[in-house]
Structure 1
């Protein structure tokens, strides 16, 4: 686990007894994000797994760039600036 963390394979290590709480904390953070953005990110990651690395990166990048033209991006920026929770619309 230590080596996986050191080489960047994982971004956090937890003890087995902390796993459930840590997982729920992460799920809570993800649940507060735009559902549409999360869906697009998952789709891009899944698609990139089937491609050579260089093509996968391009796929992820194009999906990411497309998110800049969404209402959820505007809502997210505004919520961040106002230091409040976003009310996502899903596009």
Structure 2
């Protein structure tokens, strides 16, 4: 869903880190994360399953992988009641 975001923090060597973000940029797209065989792959995918863009990282370099899902339903405090006239 638009607004889905995955943040990847990797070890860039010499004690430094780099942060990458993969974001679902349009409505109907989602971000999928797959890991296996020493590689972490984060992809932006359309409704039909076509991959739009992919980021690949060596698993032993990944320090953190944080998924930020988009809000499906507004929170109660964000909903403003409709005013009715009598």
Please tell me the TM-score bracket, short chain as reference: under 0.3
Which has more strand, going by share of residues?
Answer: 2
Higher relative contact order (CA 8 A, sep 6+): 2
Q: Structure 2-normalised TM-score?
A: 0.19
Which has more helix, going by share of residues?
Answer: 1
- Larger Rg: 1 or 2? 2
